[in-house]
Chains A and B, each alone.
Chain A
Amino acid sequence: MTTLEHHDYDVIIIGAGGAGMRAAIEAKERGLRVALICKSLLGKAHTVMAEGGVAAAMGNVYEEDNWKVHFRDTMRGGKMLNHWRMAQLHAQESPDRVQELEKWGALFDRTKDGKILQRDFGGHRYARLAHVGDRTGLELIRTLQQKAVSLDIDVFMECKVVRLLTGDDGSVTGAVAYWRPTGEFVTFAAKAVVLATGGVGKSWKFTSNSWEGTGDGHAVALWAGAELIDMECVQFHPTGMVWPLSVRGILVTEGVRGDGGVLKNSEGERFMFNYIADMFKAETADSEAEADRWYDDHTAGRRPPELLPRDEVARSINSEVKAGRGSPHGGVFLDIASRRSAEVIRRRLPSMYHQFMELAGVDITQEAMEVGPTCHYIMGGVRVEPDNGATSVPGLFAAGEVSGGMHGSNRLGGNSLSDLLVFGRRAGMGAADFAEGRAGDVPKLEESLIRHYIDEALEPFTRDEGENPYDLQHDLQEMMQTNVGIIRTGPELDEALEKLEVLKERVNNISVKGGRAYNPGWNLATDLPAMLTVSTCVALGARERKESRGGQTREDFPKADPELGKINFVSRQPAGGGFNEEIKISPEPLPEMPDELKALLEEAPK
């Protein structure tokens, strides 16, 4: 083999969504050598797709809002499985992070007096989401991208990391990656590594996630000895498109409901009124009239049930469809046409208007949309120290969707974009501190291990007769959708775990055609080990957590178990693991919340 391309850095950041870019900016501003690595072109990460907004208790629309209310909403939305310290930091720091974006050129929609406008979203007591129409993610990613470019950060785009490297002492030393355009491998030695690789949704059939959502970061972290927590907590967003089939799963922003859209069944009934859980009764309207008053003035009525947290709404839609009251293509109706003027809809929700017009031939200013749950977000992820994003592997940090703890068992809308900013920055600081404190120059990499990982990635080329990676991906997605979907049962999860073992065998028999340069079949073959590892963690966690809580719904255990509400399920592998090796899962107590924060939760809602 010829010599490999190699780079030395103080900090490498894997992933260029909001979290990765924010981390890179932080580390670069400390004067360190920083590289930003991503699988797609710069600016195309999932973050660009975020629609509705970024949650921050700035109080621009409702003065009553403050971090304490945001903290409470986040904890309740997460069904108390959140790491309290993350929820606290997030609520306290997100206003500063949003305002900082303005300093870097972002142009949010404005209030009448020229401040940043905030919109309503599910689970947030006050209008709290800073936004730009329904393309907030684009604004966020472009602002960070332009800031990163102005700092002259080195960017490696269309470069996929296949493995992390660790040293004898277990600390991280770098990563092995390949360039997608050429298929050539490249190694990075780094004093610290930040994972910001986003989510895992591509393992389900109906998903809002792109091809990138294969859980690479979750998997490489686990293989390197880091811990994953609560992987069973997967968010199914209540409103994905259901028709045409080819766009099934594509997201319809919650902003539609925040701006007045309502859910109806085939009988024209606003069915959400029938599904208000006890926990939310006190703060949810019990009549249409009251709910409708609330849109104009939050003190004139309680919030509409359409804006309950996502897990509640998704389950309700599922029940309506099961009861035979669904729409023609197996969803329910989301109606804003009869409730807001065409002009308002087009101004507030331009990309939704465009998306339905172009893809479904539906004019949302005239007709209701058909929507149903779609796999959207993973709350579980790499276990981190709240203050600096450190994982249990020295030198390895994580932020954004790949990390776990912040959102508990269910994430509130808008809380991801703010999470990226708050914890992206903190992980950037953590990594910079670590890099500065690490003695000597960049760590030495172990040659033989690098060769081994490269051979592993190239293996599919060595088989002439074997399976098409797309067939395997298809079978995995079907299986996860059926067995580890929105509603789960013990026997189905047992079966899922058996089937995952069979799929893992099949990975060892994949063969790919063609060369290494920009070969999507091969690229997918290198994604599959991560998808299988992550899917196994989800299924294991779902089997162990014998209760229903947020993004984990067990038909055989329909209630939340207060004892399990104090437990994280932690997945582990010995360092140097891989998708073929066993994953161990164990229950561990959540960190204890200080009394002064507990008091905030007990306060009665206004």
Chain B
Amino acid sequence: MSDVVMHVWRGDSNGGDFEEYTLPAQEGEVVLDVIHRIQATEAPDLACRWNCKAGKCGSCSAEINGKPRLLCMTRMDQLPEGEPVTVTPMRAFPIIRDLVSDVSYNYEMARKVPAFLPPPRPEDGYRMSQIDVERGQEFRKCIECFMCQNVCHVIRDHEENKGKFAGPRLFIRYAELEMHPLDTNDRRDLVRDKAGLGMCNITKCCTEVCPEHIKITDNAIIPLKERVVDADFDPVAWLGRKILRRTKRTPQEASVQPE
């Protein structure tokens, strides 16, 4: 097999540049394998995150030829042959070093989501039907790769929005809780006022990059937007839609963390 040429961004918050590495190609490799070979030989200090090497942990997000991808799930033979492969860190987050970016923003936004709050557990356990859990399960497939956050123009192009915009990853978390058959918290005012749901103009870029194929816009954001609007007019309609709902809470109560 021929050689592969990699253009890997090297640097830190003070700046950096592309470094070129040429290696013999190997059958069946993914981009992460090539990065690992560079580390093992020429550049042991090349920074890159990874854990599972099988698309399950969401650690290895980066941009390959300008597109957000998981390094471990992008096969070299699917990239244009004979052309150099460019690898850069995710753009929307501050850079730590090389391919590693500072994703703490996402963890901070996650801290703001009021917790799940079920009714007391009945003696013989909670009962939920498969069809009802499946809606939430779609969102719980999320591996927190944060690529949807990375492509969302609300924060990618506007650093100043970060404090008031939770982003698609967390919209699916709000949606998941909202649709959870057992949850009793009402987070609709929160998601509108503090999480910035209104700033999303449904470009669907987030859905396109999601490696778990979660329909972020269609199944989470749009239904959430509808519910938030409903809440202004008709809380009863919303109430009725929640299965097994016991009590409705005010946003103030909802933001209190349960035990």
- Give Cα A138 to B57, complex, Å: 8
- Give Cα A251 to B56, complex, Å: 11
Complex: chain A residue closest to B29, CB-CB: A246
Interface string of A101-133 (1 = CB under 8 A from B): 011110111100111110000000000000011
Indicate the size class of the contact surface on chain A: 35 or more
Q: In this assembly, does B158 line the interface, its C-beta being within 8 Å of a C-beta of chain A?
A: no
- Give Cα A151 to B143, complex, Å: 22
* B257 adjacent to A41 (CB under 8 Å): no
In the bound complex, residues from chain B placing their C-beta under 8 Å from that of A328 are: none
* B39 adjacent to A210 (CB under 8 Å): no
* A49 adjacent to B56 (CB under 8 Å): yes
In the bound complex, residues from chain A placing their C-beta under 8 Å from that of B44 are: 468-470, 512-514, 519-521, 524
Q: In this assembly, does A48 line the interface, its C-beta being within 8 Å of a C-beta of chain B?
A: yes
Which of B48, B52, B97, B127 makes the CB contact (< 8 A) with A115? Answer: B127
Query: Shortest Cβ distance from A64 into chain B, in angstroms?
Result: 17
* A107 adjacent to B180 (CB under 8 Å): yes
Query: Shortest Cβ distance from A250 into chain B, in angstroms?
Result: 5
Whether A114 contacts B129 in the complex (CB less than 8 A), given A150-B258, A355-B54, comes out as yes
Complex: chain A residue closest to B127, CB-CB: A114
In the bound complex, residues from chain A placing their C-beta under 8 Å from that of B128 are: 107, 110, 114
* A107 adjacent to B133 (CB under 8 Å): yes
- Give Cα A43 to B106, complex, Å: 12
Taking each of B53, B96, B121, B129, which has the highest tally of chain A beta carbons within 10 Å of its own beta carbon? B53
* B29 adjacent to A520 (CB under 8 Å): no
* A49 adjacent to B52 (CB under 8 Å): yes
Query: Shortest Cβ distance from A474 into chain B, in angstroms?
Result: 7
* A360 adjacent to B28 (CB under 8 Å): yes
Whether A41 contacts B103 in the complex (CB less than 8 A), given A102-B126, A107-B180, A513-B44, comes out as yes
* B48 adjacent to A359 (CB under 8 Å): no
Which of A103, A110, A211, A359 makes the CB contact (< 8 A) with B30? Answer: A359
Q: In this assembly, does B204 line the interface, its C-beta being within 8 Å of a C-beta of chain A?
A: no
Q: In this assembly, does A245 line the interface, its C-beta being within 8 Å of a C-beta of chain B?
A: yes
Query: Shortest Cβ distance from B259 into chain A, in angstroms?
Result: 8
Q: In this assembly, does B227 line the interface, its C-beta being within 8 Å of a C-beta of chain A?
A: no
Whether A135 contacts B56 in the complex (CB less than 8 A), given A99-B125, A110-B128, comes out as yes
* B96 adjacent to A42 (CB under 8 Å): no
Interface string of A508-552 (1 = CB under 8 A from B): 000011110111111010000000000000000000000000000
Which of B47, B126, B180 makes the CB contact (< 8 A) with A519? Answer: B47
Complex: chain A residue closest to B142, CB-CB: A142
Task: Give me the interface of B with A, judged by CB distance under 8 Å.
Answer: 12, 26-30, 33, 39-41, 44-59, 73, 75, 96-98, 100, 102-103, 107, 110-111, 115-116, 118, 121, 125-130, 133, 136-137, 140-144, 177, 180, 183, 257-259
27 contacts between A and B (CB under 8 A): A40-B51, A48-B52, A102-B121, A102-B125, A104-B116, A105-B115, A117-B130, A133-B137, A150-B257, A181-B96, A210-B52, A245-B26, A246-B29, A250-B53, A351-B54, A351-B56, A355-B54, A358-B55, A470-B40, A514-B45, A517-B97, A518-B97, A518-B98, A518-B100, A520-B47, A521-B39, A521-B44
